Amino acid sequence: MTTDYELMTMQLREFAKEESDFLPLLSNASALIMASMDRLNWAGFYLIKDGALILGPFQGKPACIRIAVGRGVCGTAFDKDETLRVENVHEFKGHIACDSASNSEIVIPLHHDGKLVGVMDIDSPELSRFSIEDQKGLEAFAAVLDEMADYSSYV
Ligand code: SME
């Protein structure tokens, strides 16, 4: 199945128009990812709080609650403020294995008012699951969150 990123991003925009608070919006964003893409085992968010990335809305197995900036794929993507597309997580130094089924991963930093606020993390049991086209589609999806998500209720 190829993912219809245009449709997925449009649906996210509709959710955001109705309610921009980060909690319902990121919850529905993780559900949209899981419903729209195949060969995934985890999709969700980590948000920065008191200097660490804290688990946010997600779909998948229970995951690590706290990730230090600079640690694992999520902490490294946040630290560098760049998308990380990891073909084989077992070869990524410091990878944090929350779900042993994960073999590849993509992590995209999230921003609000030009400031880094967290990351979107998507895991797959398949090696090299995420192509450059997936990266582009998911970055466009994340851009809707950058533009529309409201984090003011996050303390
Ligand atoms: N594998 C991630 C940790 C988060 S879980 O996969 C949900 C990492 O190395 O940052």
73 lines ligand 1 (CB under 6 A): yes
The β-bridge relationship of strands 84-86 and 104-112 is antiparallel
Q: How far is the CA of 58 from the centre of ligand 1 (A)?
A: 12
Check residue 2 and give its pLDDT: 87
* Tens digits of residue pLDDT in 9-61: 999 999 999 999 999 999 999 999 999 999 999 999 999 999 999 999 999 99
Question: Tokens 């086209």 map to which residue?
Answer: 133
Ligand 1 within 6 A of CB of 85: no
Query: Of all protein residues, whose CA lies closest to atom 6 belonging to ligand 1?
Result: 98
β-partners of residue 8 are: none
Give the separation between CA 37 and CA 34, rounded to whole angstroms: 6
Predicted pLDDT of residue 34: 98
Q: Ligand 1 pocket, 72 CB below 6 A?
A: yes
Burial of 124 (0-12, 13-18, 19+ CB in 10 A): buried
Is it the case that residue 155 has pLDDT exceeding 90? no
Span 102-133, pLDDT tens digits: 999 999 999 999 999 999 999 999 999 999 99
By most ligand atoms within 8 Å of CB, the mutation choice from 123, 129, 130 for ligand 1 is: 123
Ligand 1 center from residue 18 Cα (angstroms): 30
Q: What is the pLDDT of residues 53-90, one digit of tens each?
A: 999 999 999 999 999 999 999 999 999 999 999 999 99
Where in the chain are the domains?
5-148
Q: What is the pLDDT of residue 98?
A: 85
Class of domain 5-148: alpha beta
Q: Are strands 66-68 and 84-86 parallel, antiparallel or unpaired?
A: unpaired
pLDDT at 99: 85
Dihedral pair phi/psi, residue 2, rounded to 5°: -95, 145
Residue 134 CB less than 6 A away from ligand 1? no
The answer, yes or no, to whether residue 1 has pLDDT greater than 80, is no
